[in-house]
Structure 1
Amino acid sequence: MHIAIFNQHHHNPDCPATCRHYTFLQELAKRHQVTLITSNGWRSIRITNKYSWAPKGVKLHECEVPYANRMGVLQRLFSFAGYAAYSFWKGLIMPKPDVIWAVSTPLSTPFVASQVARMRNIPWVFEVQDLWPSFPIEMGAVKYTWMQRLLYRIEKNLYNNAKHIVALSPDMTAYVQEVGISAAKVCTNYNGTDQDQVDAITEQQVEALRQKMNLQGKQVVLYAGTYGRANDIPTIMQAIEKMAADESIKFILTGNGYYEQQLRELAARVPNLLLLKPQPRPEVFKLFKLADISLVTFNDLPVLASNSPSKFYDSLACGTPVIVTNPGWTRQFTEEHQVGWYVPAEEPKALTERISCALSEPEAIKAAGARGEAIARKLFNRQELVQEVEQVLFAAAKV
């Protein structure tokens, strides 16, 4: 089977980001012909060079289109438009695939894929990573009502035109069904994590990292992810300041994004914050193994309750319980399986109290971590999740 994947935001394990599609393509390329149409936006933040940029066996088509989390609305639109034009052209001239796999975000990616699929009479599968246009609309990036209606209409048409829809969380699946799409046409495939990389980390490596960072006798609270405008970073910053006098606790933050400068200023002012540069994927897993608890925070917006954050899966796979602020499926999952705790978003006092309470019960942390590790092995291993997507692609292509 020849699979063509349209994905603007490709990255590999050398980057400080989740690598769902790298893992998936690596596995699929063992059995299929795979073509990746992407941009080079993430190459500039590649930290190491231990991995090939695209997995072995993947035919890579890549355009020069910059992208960064700190970009404003206009800059992002230029980035989206640049990739859309390139992927449309490549989609029309590449050898005809059996199926197209389009990864959102942004919504322009599946839109272009759908046009190529229609013009070349190819079935296509729509992977929903975040709910667009709901996300930019609720974040205030799309202010005109007529534009919002247009984008929602495009979204609905894309759902209708796709052969199948893969959603990365149960709440996303429910949303797609609520807009009128048949349940038979939608499946949930969790974002997941790279269990093999988790298993490769040794206790000696974690202890060496603890020594290197002078964390002996410290309890560690980790946030590993984007410092974006949707990630409720100000609440974390306020919690850090409130707990600055407690020398037994160290907050470790690693990532980049919109609030990076404010975090640097905070780290220079308080003793309990260790701000690290972005880390390649294997090093991030070491940090999760090192931490006592991790934070999975987002703003108080309805659309964010449905998201599928990689740090949630990574933390549980490493045996580290989570504090989540989403009232959606992650809260339900966390409480049902007792793998962490829920705190309402944008409430620094509540977050501070929950961190203090959790850290005061080391046996509860250990038990929650063990439960999280067990459920992650059962549900979140990408080596198994890719097989579900492979079957979706097979069914769509009918080869």
Structure 2
Amino acid sequence: MRIIYIHQYFVTPQEGGATRSYHLAKGMVEKGIEVEMITSHNKGFYDLRFIDGIKVHYLPVSYRQEFGFIKRVWSFGRFVKSARSFIKKLPRPDYFYISSTPLTTGLIGLWAKRKFAIPYIFEVRDLWPDAPIQVGAIKSPLLKKVLYALENRIYKHALKIIALSPGIAENIRKKAPQAAIHTVPNFVDLETFYPKEKNPILLKQFGLKNSFTIAYAGAIGKVNAVSELLDVAKIAQDQGKNYQFVVMGKGSETPALLQQAKKMHLSNFFYFPFGTKHNVSDLLSCADMAFISFSKHPVLKTNSPNKFFDALGSGKAILVNHKGWVFNLVKSEKLGLSYPANRTDLAFEKIDALAQNPDSLHKMQERSRSLAIRYFSKETAINRLLSVIDDKQFGKLTEDGVYILTA
């Protein structure tokens, strides 16, 4: 079987970030599937690399999280055009596996199906165009209409659809009831993320003390609400608490976040630049809780954030500020604490109580790791995806408890 895998933002664990496509493609290769990955990089030339059996084609299309709306649209369009031209040079695949975001990658699937009669499987990571519309990035009524029409067309013509959360699957089902929709959530590499004792060497390396610590490791964009962690840090500092608050990441809001921390004169806040998965694992080993946050937009309730699964694997208690399926998991499985968005005073009260109850904290941490092993390992996700691609060749898997938990 040959699959051309399309993902504009493909990265490896050594690069850091969202490594889902790397692990899924590697899992396909290990089961005998020939995989060619078409992606992009911020260089002015084409590059070809063989990464753990995956043939990765890097197209010269720049993209950065800091890009404004116009630059992003230009990047999305250029990637579609470049990918279509490049696909013509490749041997015919059995399937295209196309990952969003952005939604525009679906244009490649529509084109390939029409021109070559090759079916495509479409993976929906975030709900587009709902997400950019709700956060105010897209305001034009005409553009909204065009994008919704495109979304429905992509769903309609896909052989199968992979949703990253039950909420995403439910949303798609309302728009495309005839579609074959399967849920394959994000996952964790349990060999990279696992519980560790706080290491004095790592604590010293990060400049941290061996005290109660909350860490955020992920994107720092407008929708991530990372600044709420600063507000909690300020309350803790004002009350003389020896707690630490740590952020590792990058994004368009990084300068504003650091400026805000400076204005607040926080001595208990620490920032580290974006790192590899191993860097994130090291940081989480120095923390007691992981902060999972989004701004207050309904569409963000459906998100399947990588940082959540990394934290589960690392055996961390969870602090979440938004309702949705992650919130429901945290509540039903007793993984940590929740608070309404912007109610950082309430967040501090709960954190303060937990910090003084090590037994409760330890039980939350144990439950996080247990849940990761039972439902969110990369092996489980790979097997489920292979079953969706071809259940006759790879075996048919039934729905399991994770979807009951997160529905």
The answer on 1:220 being equivalent to 2:221 is no
Corresponding residue to 1:198 among 157, 172, 193: 193
5+ residue gaps, structure 1: 45-51
Report the counterpart of residue 141 of structure 2 in structure 1. 145
Report the counterpart of residue 37 of structure 2 in structure 1. 36
State the distance in 2 between where 1:297 and 1:309 align.
9
Corresponding residue to 2:335 among 339, 342, 364: 339
- Whichever residue aligns with residue 17 of structure 1, its letter is G
Q: Deviations over 1:293-343 (max 9, x none)?
A: 111000000000000001111111111011112211111111111011221
The answer on 1:240 being equivalent to 2:233 is yes
Using the TM superposition, give the Cα deviation of residue 394 of structure 1 relative to its aligned residue in structure 2, in angstroms.
2.3
Report the counterpart of residue 188 of structure 1 in structure 2. 183
Deviates more, 1:273-282 or 1:352-361: 352-361
State the distance in 2 between where 1:369 and 1:344 align.
22
Q: Is the 2:155–2:176 Cα contact (8 Å) retained in structure 1? A: no
Using the TM superposition, give the Cα deviation of residue 103 of structure 1 relative to its aligned residue in structure 2, in angstroms.
0.1
Using the TM superposition, give the Cα deviation of residue 391 of structure 1 relative to its aligned residue in structure 2, in angstroms.
2.0
Q: How does 1:372-387 map to 2 (within 5 A)?
A: 372-387=368-383
State the distance in 2 between where 1:81 and 1:19 align.
23
- Whichever residue aligns with residue 191 of structure 1, its letter is N
State the distance in 2 between where 1:85 and 1:290 align.
44
The answer on 1:253 being equivalent to 2:247 is yes
Q: Is the 2:131–2:299 Cα contact (8 Å) retained in structure 1? A: yes
Report the counterpart of residue 405 of structure 2 in structure 1. none
Q: How does 1:49-128 map to 2 (within 5 A)?
A: 55-128=51-124
Normalised by the size of structure 1, how large is the TM-score?
Answer: 0.91
* Secondary structure of the structure 2 residue equivalent to 1:93: coil
State the distance in 2 between where 1:351 and 1:71 align.
32
The answer on 1:230 being equivalent to 2:223 is yes
5+ residue gaps, structure 2: 395-407
Using the TM superposition, give the Cα deviation of residue 194 of structure 1 relative to its aligned residue in structure 2, in angstroms.
0.8
CA RMSD, 1 decimal: 2.2
State the distance in 1 between where 2:92 and 2:392 align.
15
State the distance in 2 between where 1:327 and 1:203 align.
31
Q: Deviations over 1:59-104 (max 9, x none)?
A: 2222111111111101111111111111111223311000100000
- Whichever residue aligns with residue 255 of structure 2, its letter is Q
- Whichever residue aligns with residue 41 of structure 2, its letter is N
- Whichever residue aligns with residue 249 of structure 1, its letter is Y
Report the counterpart of residue 17 of structure 1 in structure 2. 17
State the distance in 2 between where 1:397 and 1:70 align.
43
Using the TM superposition, give the Cα deviation of residue 259 of structure 1 relative to its aligned residue in structure 2, in angstroms.
1.9
Q: Is the 1:293–1:322 Cα contact (8 Å) retained in structure 2? A: yes
- Whichever residue aligns with residue 179 of structure 1, its letter is K
State the distance in 2 between where 1:238 and 1:19 align.
30
Corresponding residue to 1:321 among 313, 317, 323: 317
Corresponding residue to 2:257 among 248, 263, 276: 263
- Whichever residue aligns with residue 10 of structure 2, its letter is H
State the distance in 2 between where 1:239 and 1:203 align.
25
Using the TM superposition, give the Cα deviation of residue 55 of structure 1 relative to its aligned residue in structure 2, in angstroms.
2.3
Task: Identify if the C-alpha distance between structure 1 residues 21 and 207 changes in structure 2 by more than 3 Å, giving closer, same or farther.
Answer: farther
State the distance in 2 between where 1:88 and 1:284 align.
35
Q: Is the 1:100–1:113 Cα contact (8 Å) retained in structure 2? A: yes
Using the TM superposition, give the Cα deviation of residue 195 of structure 1 relative to its aligned residue in structure 2, in angstroms.
1.0
Deviates more, 1:314-323 or 1:23-32: 23-32
* Secondary structure of the structure 1 residue equivalent to 2:51: coil
* Secondary structure of the structure 1 residue equivalent to 2:70: helix
Task: Identify if the C-alpha distance between structure 1 residues 54 and 228 changes in structure 2 by more than 3 Å, giving closer, same or farther.
Answer: farther
The answer on 1:208 being equivalent to 2:201 is yes
State the distance in 2 between where 1:291 and 1:283 align.
13
Task: Identify if the C-alpha distance between structure 1 residues 397 and 71 changes in structure 2 by more than 3 Å, giving closer, same or farther.
Answer: farther
Q: How does 1:147-162 map to 2 (within 5 A)?
A: 147-162=143-158
* Secondary structure of the structure 2 residue equivalent to 1:136: helix
Task: Identify if the C-alpha distance between structure 1 residues 218 and 202 changes in structure 2 by more than 3 Å, giving closer, same or farther.
Answer: closer
Q: Is the 2:338–2:347 Cα contact (8 Å) retained in structure 1? A: no
State the distance in 1 between where 2:106 and 2:87 align.
12
The answer on 1:348 being equivalent to 2:341 is no
State the distance in 2 between where 1:217 and 1:247 align.
13
Normalised by the size of structure 2, how large is the TM-score?
Answer: 0.90
Corresponding residue to 1:281 among 248, 262, 277: 277
